[in-house]
Amino acid sequence: MAVQDKLGAEDLKQYYNAADGIRLSPGWLGGEEEASPELAPYLWRWSEVEPLVLKSGEVVTPDRDVERRTMRLATPGLKRGTTHTLIAALQLLLPGECAPAHRHTPTAIRWILKGHGAYTTVQGDKCYMEPGDLILTPSWTWHDHTNEGTEPMIWLDGLDVPLVRYLKANFYEPFPEDQQPVTGVGDSVRKYASGSLKPTWGEADAPYSPLWHYKWDRTYDALTNLAELGSDPFDDVSMEYTDPSTGGPVLRTMTCRIQLIRPGIQTKAHRHTSSKIYQVFRGSGYTVIDGQRFDWTEGDFFIVPSWAWHEHASTSDGEAILFSIQDIPIMKSMALYREEPYTEHAGHQPVTSQFNTGS
C-alpha cells in the first residue's frame, strides 16, 4: 500500500499504536462498522401459532403492569424483533378486557385477524375492529383497546420499534386513566374514507394519514375491481394503502400493502431494499425467497429480508390474499430504495431447498 511505504515498519507500528491510544481507527485497514444482523427468511404457521396465542389468555391479563398481551414473531438471529426495523406481534384481548391507554413514539398498525365486538380508540376516535380491517396508530397518538363483545379478539400488531430504538428516539407515556375519553365513533372514516372527497375545513397538518381505519369491505372491493384491469409482474394485483391527503404511504416509516394473487398465478422474482412482514389473509400458495420455497396457507406469517429475491404463487384452486408491512418509506426518504428484477430463467429462481419449521 503506497502510504505505508513512506514509513519504516517500526514507525508505522508506533503510528498505529498512537492512533489507537487516542481512539482513532485507520479507515484504510478495512473491517466493518457495526452492522445490523444478517436475516434469513422465516415462516410461522397459523396452525401452530393460534393455539399458543389463545393459551396466552391463561398466562397474563393486560393491566398497567402487563399493558399488552402479545406474542412476538421472533426471527432467529434477532433477540425480539421480526426484521431489523420492524416487529410483528399477535395480540389477544378477551371479552370484557381493556388494554390500557398509552402512547409511544414507535408507530403501530393493527391488522385484524379474528373476532368481533372489540374496538381501538385512537386519539379519541373509537374504531370497531373487524377481520381484514387495518387500523393505524401513528407515532405519539393515544390508544387503548377494549373488547366489549363475547369472542376472543386476535390481531397482528406491526411496529417500527427496532428502528426507533436504534435511532434512540423511543419515548412512552401512560394515560392517567385506563381508557381515554371517546370524542367520536369512526370519525376518521366518515371524514376521509371516501378517497376522492375530503372536508374543506380543519386541514390536518399531522405527519401521518388523517384516516386511520381502512375497512375490509372497501379494501376487497378495490382489489377485485383492480383485478379486472391489470396486475404487476412481481406482485400480481397489488395495492398500497394511502394517506388520502397526500396519496402517499399511510405512515412515515411503514407502508401497508394488500395483494391478490389470482388462482394459479406465479409472479416473477425481484428484490428491493426494504424488509417485509407478510400475513396470508386468504388462500394458499408459496413464496420462493433466495431459492428457498416457503409453502403457506391461510393465517401464516413470513418475512422477506431486504435485498432477498422473492416471487409468489397461489394454488390453482383459489385466489390468495397477502397483507404486508414494509419499511419502504424510510428507504425512500433517504434515497436508499432500489429494486431489481431477476432476469435469468424467465424471471423465476431455481428452487434449491424447502422451508420446514425448525430448520
Q: Per CB under 6 A, which region of 157-165, 183-191, 192-200, 251-259 contacts ligand 1HN?
A: 157-165
Q: Sort 240 into a burial class: Cβ within 10 Å, 0-12 / 13-18 / 19+.
A: middle
How far is residue 297 from each of residues 44, 45, 46, 80, 132, measured CA to CA in Å? 10, 8, 8, 25, 16
Yes or no: say if 277 and 308 are a contact pair by the CB < 8 Å rule: no
- At position 340, the amino acid (one-letter code) is E
Q: Show the DSSP H helices in 236-314 as ranges.
A: none
Yes or no: say if 323 and 263 are a contact pair by the CB < 8 Å rule: no
Q: Provide the 3-class DSSP secondary structure of residue 166.
A: helix
Alpha-carbon dihedral angle through residues 209, 213, 216, 217, given to the nearest 10 degrees: -90
Query: Cα 145 from chain centroid?
Result: 20
Q: Per CB under 6 A, which region of 153-161, 266-274, 284-292, 350-358 contacts ligand 1HN?
A: 153-161
Q: What is the DSSP letter of 253?
A: S
Q: Closer to ligand 1HN by CB, 6 or 79: give it.
A: 79
With binding defined as CB under 6 A, does residue 331 bind ligand 1HN? no
With binding defined as CB under 6 A, does residue 159 bind ligand 1HN? yes
With binding defined as CB under 6 A, does residue 70 bind ligand 1HN? yes
Q: Which residue is nearest to ligand 1HN (CB)?
A: 157
Q: Closer to ligand 1HN by CB, 91 or 314: give it.
A: 91
Least Å distance, CB 98 to ligand 1HN, is: 11
Q: Closer to ligand 1HN by CB, 267 or 275: give it.
A: 275
With binding defined as CB under 6 A, does residue 143 bind ligand 1HN? yes
Q: Closer to ligand 1HN by CB, 181 or 199: give it.
A: 181
With binding defined as CB under 6 A, does residue 157 bind ligand 1HN? yes
Residues that bind ligand 1HN (CB under 6 A): 68, 70, 89, 91, 99, 104, 108, 143, 157, 159, 161
